[in-house]
Amino acid sequence: MDTSTIQDFLQRPSESEAAILGHVLRNPGTVQPVIARDCGLSQQTVSRLVGELVERGALALGERKVSGRRGQPSVSIRVEPDYAYSLGIALMTDALSVALMDFAGNVVGHEQFTMPVMSRNAVFARLHEIRARLLDRTPAARERLVGAGIGILGPCLDGKSRFNPPRALDEFAMVPIDELFTERLGLPCWVEGDGNAAAVGESFLGAGRQYANFVYIYVAAGLGGGIIVNNRLLRGSHGNSGEIGRMLPWRNFQIPTLETLLHSLRSAGVELDGLSTMLANFDPDWPGVDEWITRSRDQFSLIASAIAALLDPEAIVFGGRLPPALAAKLIPAIELFDDARREMPRPLPRIIASRTSYHACAIGAAMLPLEQRFYSSML
């Protein structure tokens, strides 16, 4: 990579450029008139900035598209995948998931390992091995790796990077996670709670391509989530917006998680040695699945109804580590409480399954460096 190319690559986009990049990422093949309309910019400004981003290598021009209006067809625009890369790291109680993502949001490499012990030494030893393999398979990423994002369970303590995760992650508790990973990986690092990270990924690469306002429900060993408002993550005063599991007092309700599903399956006679094994081999017809849905639907209905009443989103997205086959059985059982007054009840959000693939937290974590570095900043 020559010096001029490095300087172009390191140049931080302006606010308007970041808005354009974010729009094109969510709408591959879009055209300048649509960008101008959706980003609130003049056609002249969009034309100039798109030209500069194409020259820098961040955007690429495609075929001409007929818009139905008079005049010349518009040229389609897309994000250039090789412009930048990032790593996404999901720290779970029993596993480590790592994704290598290109600038267009494509996962070009992914590895996940069950970890008997989630100690610092074990995690970073495995991380160095995984990174080396992923970069060997995608050599273009070596000089264009902008950083790593980390998703971790538990509430944020300082509004920035200190978290209080479950006991299995004791060695990552109450320390600045971004600084720890920056020091050990030699890369700029950003950290979010697992639900917030997954919501960011869903916003750019999944349901966010259709819905600008949605709430993400992250179902895993715990229950969390994230809130997207006008395509941006709402973090809250302390970084804990979207802590959906805390809407249910644990003394009054069984919190519906994949751990309680595991207990239900074991009680029904399904032999499983842990959460990762259950998810890797999940069968929606196992005995105990329907019982868990029956025991969980009221809690999920209460949560979804509260979200609808308080935030009025376009959609409620169920994701996290929730298997798609389980989501397909669970979602129809969830009820949004409404008085259905007269013939026109109030509009309610759609309840849908996540539209991202691979591991939701790892994908979202991989989006963090790209968003912070190139796309519109978070609220």
Q: Are residues 91 and 134 in the same domain?
A: yes
- Write down the pLDDT at residue 1: 47
> Is residue 25 over pLDDT 70?
yes
Asked if the structure places residue 318 within a domain, the reply is yes
- The pLDDT of residue 256 is above 70: yes
Residue pair 77/104 in contact (Cβ under 8 Å)? The answer is no
Which of 41, 61, 79 corresponds to the end of one domain? 79
Tell me how far CA of residue 316 lies from CA of 229, 234, 331, in angstroms: 12, 15, 10
Are the beta carbons of 227 and 203 closer than 8 angstroms? no
Mean pLDDT of 256-263: 96
From 52, 79, 106, the end of a domain falls on 79
Q: Are residues 118 and 66 in the same domain?
A: no
Q: What is the rounded average pLDDT of the residues 90-117?
A: 93
> Which domain CATH number covers 239?
3.30.420.40
Token pair in block for residue 376: 């519109």
Residue 7 has pLDDT above 50, yes or no: no
Q: Are residues 68 and 139 in the same domain?
A: no
304-360 pLDDT tens trace: 999 999 999 999 999 999 999 999 999 999 999 987 777 777 899 999 999 987 688
Within a domain: 120: yes
Regarding whether 163 and 252 lie in a shared domain, the answer is: no
**pTM greater than the 0.95 cutoff:** no
Q: How far apart are CA 102 and CA 145, in angstroms?
A: 9
For residue 166, pLDDT over 50 is answered with: yes
Any domain includes 378 = no
Q: Taking residues 16-35, what's their average pLDDT?
A: 93
Is residue 74 domain-shared with residue 156, that is, in the same domain? no
**Domain check: are 227 and 309 in the same one?**
yes
Q: Minimum mean pLDDT among 58-72, 203-217, 249-263, 277-291: which range?
A: 58-72
∠ CA 252-257-261 to the nearest 5 degrees? Answer: 105
The tens digit of pLDDT for each residue in 108-146 reads: 999 999 998 999 999 999 999 999 999 999 999 999 999
Looking at residue 376, its pLDDT comes to 66
Whether 233 and 339 share a structural domain:
yes
- Is residue 5's pLDDT more than 70? no
Examine the domain organization and report whether 231 and 323 are in the same domain: yes
- Considering the domain architecture, whether residues 225 and 164 belong to the same structural domain is answered as no
pLDDT of residue 2: 46
> Is 290 inside a domain boundary?
yes
Answer yes or no: is 163 within a domain: yes
**157-161 long-range CB contacts below 8 Å, 24 or more apart?**
157/238, 158/238, 158/239, 159/235, 159/237, 159/238, 159/239, 160/239, 161/191
Q: How confident is the model at residue 285 (pLDDT cuts 50, 70, 90)?
A: very high
164 and 123 within one domain:
yes
187 residue type, one letter: L
pLDDT at 3: 42
pLDDT value at position 36? 94
Sheet with strand 145-152: strands edge to edge: 107-114, 95-102, 85-91, 145-152, 189-193
Whichever domain contains 58, its CATH number is: 1.10.10.10
Half-sphere exposure of 54 (CA within 13 A, CB side): 14
Domain count, the chain: 3
Q: What's the chain's average pLDDT?
A: 91
Say if 205 falls within a structural domain. no
Do 100 and 56 belong to one domain?
no
Do both 181 and 219 map to the same domain?
no
- Show the domain range for 10: 3-79
Domain boundary among 54, 79, 104: 79
